[in-house]
A and B are shown apart, each in its own frame.
Chain A
Amino acid sequence: MMPLLASVGLSKYYGARTGCIGVTFDLYPGEVLAIVGESGSGKTTLLRCLSGHLAATSGEVRYTMRDGRQAALGEMSEAERRLLMRTDWGFVHQDAREGLRMGVSGGANVGERLMAVGERHYGRIRAEALDWLDRVEIPADRIDDSPVAYSGGMRQRLQIARNLVTSPRLVFMDEPTGGLDVSVQARLLDLIRGLVRRLGLAAIVVTHDLAVARLLSTRMLVMQQGRVIEAGLTDQVLEDPQAPYTQLLVSSVLQV
């Protein structure tokens, strides 16, 4: 089976400064990969290169399109890339405001992607939006409120609904629970885990929080100073870390 996404020797330099170096991995449909590291490890740079937001300095990212064709991200036209980001991919930002239109209602936020691909029936769009709000546990009577009036957790759930409405096959997540209260985080993680499983999504989740990685992902990359220093099944890496840095990370997680 062909991987859904393949990263081959991906590197990004900012002048003399290193973003990430030589990252290579395959991601298969339905797999969730966590990229873990502290601030400055290069994980955000890597995510942005993988999702086409940043041009890599060297290496390649290959994505298998719905028609089976493998395309190199760097060779796509801007039109193709933008279309991909709106249909087959999702991107959940740490700050929901970056991933939402704060000036329009929750319903419009969810419906936008549908309208962007040609859905022209108001009733159907609204029904679909209501369905998705239900799935992400946002009360139906909030559909016409602007996300400005939503709580942080609710905004994040709205962002997820907005991304999933076109049934993407791959979702990128940048610290999806960052900045939220612990109880809100737990609920959100449960939701994400459920949705990912039920929809068979592949996902790449960047996080500094090992608990998030443990809960969501099947495989994990550990980054330090731009390099991947350990990779493997999440459970294995967390139970039996090999690299000294990983051991340090694992041992410093507070045991509650």
Chain B
Amino acid sequence: MYVAVKGGEQAIDAAHALLAERRRGDPQVPGITLAQIAEQLTLGVDRVMNEGSLYDRELAALAIKQARGDLIEAIFLIRATRTTLARFGYCEPLETSSMQVERRISAAFKDIPGGQILGSTFDYTHRLLDFTLAQDEVPVAARTAPTPATVEMPRVLELLGSEGLIERPSAADAEPQDLTQDPLNFPAARDLRLQNLARGDEGFLLALAYSTQRGYGRTHPFAGEIRIGSVEISFTPEELGFAIVIGEIDITECEMINQFKGSASVAPQFTRGYGLGFGQCERKTMSMALVDRSLRAAELGEERIAPAQDEEFVLSHSDNVQATGFVEHLKLPHYVDFQSELVMLRRMRDEMVGEKLKAAE
């Protein structure tokens, strides 16, 4: 006699207990600490902060540990935490020209005021596995150029701008909207688009950016400037009425110089694409800048033929927390709907057989 299966609740509890066991792994192996993750898996932490939309290295490290290294799962944890936090206001816009620069390069010019500073980078390393890293490493102290007290590091795009060679960034009169407070509607203004891209999945944006370089909506990009370093956060509390510095964060900023554009009455100028992210995230910010520029196609009168230029397509599918939720929801029971399909399919097939038999008579 068939008895309806019960015990779902106990099954779930047992599954979670097993997860905790697997997460810890072999008890003989020392447990990983948050400090180790934050210090030595920094770029993973940076990605989780970016797509989780929350700047907190310790929380991101905790999320990575809890997620067993699955970065999208960690990003999900951070987003869920973010919702519960009280919002007490918006900081002043970041002054990236005053950045304490650790890395700063431009592909557009051989040399620039302030110089090309390589900083720490995988660039130009030979991608050969280094087996000495199997042991704990004690790296030789790096040589850095002495940093003068004040270094003039004007933005490369400002230099072009002063000659009128590149479009001015649009001075928005309206207050920027907040993607996390208001639902996204199409057509979307640039502020919401950039917010969407900032938290968008790195892989998705990378693929779209790559596609533009391969002809799916070419924008002829040059890396005008990539800056990585720390900036101060200023905030104006209501009680004080003036701005105070409440801390500093590490960010990456990328400004692309793109295909020039003019008209019969306006002399041609280069156009721009912009990318910004927490920590060191060049791949992300470069991809973001390329996709930002592509999404401006309508505004710049370009024919929209490629996926990277399709605003609804890009912005609706960039959020990996939404994406993984919906893709993975297919694991949930769907047997009632499947049952409906089975009933109908069987009926259709019976009818067809019936018709064939009738025709044969």
Contacts and interface: CB of A to CB of B under 8 A. Distances in A.
**Are chains A and B touching in the complex at the 8 Å CB cutoff?**
yes
Interface of A: 15-17
B349 to A, nearest CB: 19
Contacts of B263: 15
Interface residues of B, number: 3
Contacts of B170: none
Nearest to A17: B264
Nearest to A16: B264
B135 interface: no
A17 B264 CA distance: 9
Interface in B242-283: 263-265
Nearest to B263: A15
Interface of A is mostly: loop
B305 to A, nearest CB: 15
Contacts of B265: 15-16
Interface of B: 263-265
A17 B263 CA distance: 11
6 contacts: A15-B263, A15-B264, A15-B265, A16-B264, A16-B265, A17-B264
B266 to A, nearest CB: 10
Contacts of A17: 264
B345 to A, nearest CB: 20
A54 to B, nearest CB: 15
Nearest to B265: A16
Contacts of A15: 263-265
A17 B265 CA distance: 11
B55 to A, nearest CB: 44
B235 to A, nearest CB: 44
Q: Which 6 A-B pairs have the closest CB atoms?
A: A16-B264, A15-B263, A16-B265, A15-B264, A15-B265, A17-B264
A15 B266 CA distance: 11
A15 B301 CA distance: 12
B217 to A, nearest CB: 22
B348 to A, nearest CB: 16
Contacts of B264: 15-17
A15 B263 CA distance: 9
A16 B264 CA distance: 7
Contacts of A16: 264-265
A236 B264 CA distance: 40
B265 to A, nearest CB: 6
A16 B265 CA distance: 8
B333 to A, nearest CB: 31
A88 B264 CA distance: 40
A17 B301 CA distance: 15
A16 B266 CA distance: 11
B270 to A, nearest CB: 21
B360 to A, nearest CB: 21
A174 B319 CA distance: 42
A15 B262 CA distance: 13
B303 to A, nearest CB: 15
A70 to B, nearest CB: 34
A17 to B, nearest CB: 7
Nearest to B266: A15
Nearest to B264: A16
A87 B263 CA distance: 40
A15 B264 CA distance: 9
B263 to A, nearest CB: 6
